[in-house]
Amino acid sequence: MSRITDGPVQDGDTLDAASLNDRFGSYTQTDLNAFNARDASHDLPQFATGWVETHTQSQLLGATSFKHGSTTTVNGQTAMPASPVAITGTMSFGSGLTISTDEILRVYWNLSVKPNPGTDWNTAGSLGYYVFPGTGGGTRAASTWGAVWAFYLEWDITSSALGAFVPVNGQQAFTSVIGTKYGNTLAQCEATSVVPADLRYADPNSGELASDSTQGNIKWRGISGSWYYPRTSGSLTVYGLRLVVKGILHPWNNASTTNYLVHDTTYSTSASLEYTSGNLSVLKQRVK
């Protein structure tokens, strides 16, 4: 129901045509504003199409190959600091996608991948193994199950030339120096999704390792991730978005209570990752 707050016309008021017409004008549509229109007085038919959802876009990643006949290989990174490897398929917004105040950019990705753990998971210098007592004496190594390939988002917010991709807001590039390592704190991984670098099963027996561990059969698997960027003031124009990968990375605490994800250059020596196809999607919408 509409609500008008003009008081009634009283006997004795000084009246003229203009004041009466102004009063009458109170009842026109332009005055049915936020004050008059109560919260529940509207439903979707009264909103223009695209009022809530202001942009959607999708981009194929890699090459469509459902039988994995055509794959792209990314080798483990050993030279530090390493540059990220861009997954084929950059999402371009042409002259730019503007994220305005009270809008949020929702980004989703998925990709079909197959890690190859290589043979250096327990080479001296690798972070990827624990040493446990061996049954009958001595010691044996078992995987930490911490090693991963990390996928994260980059955007270009400078120009449509798409030549200046940087990690998105809240994400860093795993290039910070942490003691002798390169990586991120976990707090710097707001747009990261990981996939395991190996699935190596130990042979435990009463708290000891009875024999050497065995490599599980890592088959093709899917990775997925999502990231949200709300704009609470001003606006930001995004020209491009892409998914990149780095690896192999491993947990590290640097003898502190801070958790890091750092490059494991030893483990990476013989490791690689294959990928085929996936999708990068964005959805921009109002938050209220």
User: What number of other Cβ atoms are within 10 A of residue 20's Cβ?
Assistant: 11
Q: Is 233 in the site for other proteins (CB under 8 A)?
A: no
In angstroms, the CA 36 to CA 41 distance is 9
- Smallest gap from Cβ 270 to other proteins, in A, equals 19
Is residue 39 close enough to count as binding other proteins by CB under 8 A? yes
Binding piece for other proteins, criterion CB under 8 A, among 76-84, 89-97, 129-137, 239-247? 129-137
Q: Contacting other proteins (CB under 8 A), which of 250, 265, 266, 269?
A: 250
Binding mask 251-280 for other proteins (x = CB under 8 A): xxxxx-xxx---------------------
Question: Between 200 and 242, whose beta carbon lies closer to other proteins?
Answer: 200
When asked if residue 199 is in the footprint of other proteins (CB under 8 A), the reply is: yes
Neighbours of 28 (CB within 10 A): 8
Candidate ranges 65-73, 117-125, 199-207, 274-282; the one touching other proteins (CB under 8 A): 199-207
Applying the rule CB under 8 A, the residues between 43 and 62 that interact with other proteins are 43-49, 51-52
**Parallel, antiparallel, or unpaired: how do β-strands 72-75 and 272-286 relate?**
antiparallel
Does 130 interact with other proteins (rule: CB under 8 A)?
Answer: yes
**Whether residue 81 has a cis bond before it, omega within 30° of 0:** yes
Q: What part of residues 63-102 is at the interface with other proteins (CB under 8 A)? A: none
Tell the smallest beta-carbon distance from residue 97 to other proteins (Å): 18
Asked if 200 touches other proteins (CB under 8 A), the answer is yes
Tell me if 205 contacts other proteins by CB under 8 A.
yes
The closest alpha carbon to 218, from 234, 196, 238, belongs to 196
Based on the shown chain and the rule CB under 8 A, indicate whether residue 167 belongs to the binding site for other proteins.
no
Structure tokens at 110: 């998925």
Residue 16 C-beta: closest distance to other proteins, Å? 6
Residue 218: count other Cβ atoms within 10 Å of its Cβ.
Answer: 17
CB contact at 8 A, 112 and 243? no
Can you tell me which residue has the tokens 């561990």? Answer: 213
Query: What is the C-alpha separation between 120 and 273, in angstroms, rounded?
Result: 15
Kindly state the DSSP code that residue 134 receives in the 8-state scheme: B
Q: Which of 54, 65, 92, 145 binds other proteins (CB under 8 A)?
A: 145
Q: Which is nearer to other proteins, 91 or 148 (CB)?
A: 148
| Residues contacting 185, CB < 8 A, separation 6+ | 176, 258, 259, 260
